[in-house]
Structure 1
């Protein structure tokens, strides 16, 4: 059961993802979380560094969609200036939003990666849909809502079990 929480890849930030290697693996689409994945949870707009990264992503031919459990106001204000399609109030890890994102990308699941900062939502939901999952460290963990804090507690339990099984290294950042 806890193995479903294991991401295919772990990096500190989105900027540590080798996009060329991802493309070589056959990935053509990226489903990304918003809060604490692309920017801190209280950052309203994309940073210049993120805009540059998104330009590189698009130049490499990737399609991108934001899938967030946050509300329409938050997600639309962030995504629309970047011309990125989005799904708000996603209820991750439920399948519906991931299916919707795959439809927006118009790609098969095996050509789609999901990037997020939570094992309980992004990784679990992505794995259940057959997506390539990439876990990033949360950008500003002190700014998280009550559900995310609850999920972080569950992640600690899961990490303990995964470490006991030898599936998660002790020296890891979490």
Structure 2
């Protein structure tokens, strides 16, 4: 029933994703959500761990583009110190922003993965665009008011998906 919301993989955090794992699955580019995936929604500074992860991806030749529903000013301000390209006003759960991100990367949908913390937006948009997805745990356990409704619906969806797919487990790598 909720197959359009099923993530390809589930990782505990985006920082666990390595160039080696991506290469194993022929992934050459990363699209990622911003709030609660890369940075805490209420702390746009980011962490040293995030900067190291981005540097590792850059050294491996793997481009990272942020795909966010936020407005361009908010995304640009949050990414100033990280020097990442982005797609704002992505309209997730629709696939518009994901498709724009794939186009910016200059890759095919099969060569790209989308990483996000929400099934209702990130994973649904990825699946709609034919892009594999990685669901990660939110960085912080609080959400902006806009996200709280999605989280309630997400619990229902995840419970249903877990019953149908016993392989849906949090992992530390893509396997």
Q: What is the TM-score when the length of structure 2 is the normalising length?
A: 0.90
**Structure 2: distance between partners of 1:16 and 1:81:** 21
Structure 2 alignment gaps of length 5 or more: none
SS at match of 1:148: helix
Corresponding position: 1:85 with 2:78:
no
SS at match of 1:81: coil
Query: Which residue number corresponds to residue 102 of structure 1?
Result: 102
CA contact (8 A) 2:32 2:64 kept: yes
Corresponding position: 1:156 with 2:172:
no
Residue 168 of structure 1: CA displacement? 6.1
CA contact (8 A) 2:115 2:136 kept: yes
CA contact (8 A) 1:87 1:97 kept: yes
**Structure 2: distance between partners of 1:18 and 1:85:** 20
Query: Which residue number corresponds to residue 113 of structure 1?
Result: 113
CA contact (8 A) 1:113 1:131 kept: yes
Instruction: Decide whether aligned partners of structure 1 residues 117 and 148 sit closer, same or farther in structure 2, where only a CA change above 3 A counts.
Output: same
Query: Which residue number corresponds to residue 145 of structure 1?
Result: 144
SS at match of 2:80: helix
Structure 1 alignment gaps of length 5 or more: none
Query: Which residue number corresponds to residue 6 of structure 1?
Result: 6
**Structure 1: distance between partners of 2:23 and 2:101:** 19
**Structure 1: distance between partners of 2:62 and 2:151:** 30
- For the aligned residues, what is the CA RMSD? 1.8
Corresponding position: 1:50 with 2:50:
yes
**Structure 2: distance between partners of 1:66 and 1:154:** 24
Cα deviations by residue, 1:82-101 (Å, 9 ceiling, x for unpaired):
22111112111112111111
Residue 12 of structure 1: CA displacement? 0.9
Corresponding position: 1:125 with 2:130:
no
Query: Which residue number corresponds to residue 67 of structure 2?
Result: 67
| Paired residue total | 171
